[in-house]
Amino acid sequence: MTISPNVIRHKAAVTRPRRETLNGHKSVNLWFTGLSGSGKSTLAHAVEERLHLQGKRTYVFDGDNVRHGLCGDLGFSMEDRRENLRRIAEMTKLFLDSGVISLTAFISPLAEDRARIRDIIGPDDFIEVYCNCPLEICEQRDVKGLYKMAREGKIKNYTGVSSPYEPPADPDIELNTGTQPLMECVNMIVDALRARGIIF
């Protein structure tokens, strides 16, 4: 963790536990990882919809949306991807402090980077959700046409084609998003949050 020099952290009177009490649930981060087209964003938004209808305070950080603003200055080199994830992890910590359940949908292809994210956020606040979907199914979906362009050499360093994806060895939740129905996946995640005492 980088500490800024000559900066003293302010101790707030309204704390995370007080915010969680007001919200009626604990805060946590659900980190969705998987190949492009594996269903990360679709699942994250479906889980958020379920939680929202239950009166929970939530927010989804989607990889594409974040790159339009906070990380708009970054490219797709390994160094820029690493910085992109670092910024998201630090922002997620702020949302944890606010008492919100955050859902982050990022390919985050390297195990080393995901370990760093877990360290920044904190292992007790980080739930890794692996959207396990075969590459061929992801390519069949290819909603944005990016796999096609990567295969044609028009996009370089594309995860799963010309750049590696390292599947989590021991994810907190693993879902077979190529075959499992969406609502079944949503139910599994909500059940896991309830089992952990995040929601009641």
SS3 labels along the chain = CCCCCCCCCCCCCCCHHHHHHHHCCCCEEEEEECCCCCCHHHHHHHHHHHHHHCCCCEEEEEHHHHCCCCCCCCCCCHHHHHHHHHHHHHHHHHHHHCCCEEEEECCCCCHHHHHHHHHHHCCCCEEEEEECCCHHHHHHHCCCCHHHHHHCCCCCCCECCCECCCCCCCCCEEECCCCCCHHHHHHHHHHHHHHCCCCC
Q: What is the pLDDT of residue 4?
A: 57
- Return the CATH number of 16-195, one of 3.40.50.300, 3.40.605.10, 3.40.1190.10, 3.40.190.290: 3.40.50.300
Per-residue pLDDT tens over the stretch 141-157: 987 899 999 999 999 88
Average pLDDT over residues 47-51: 98
Residues identified as active-site = 108
Q: Would you list the domain boundaries of the chain?
A: 16-195
pLDDT at residue 106 greater than cutoff 60: yes
Q: What predicted TM-score, i.e. pTM, was given to this entire model?
A: 0.89
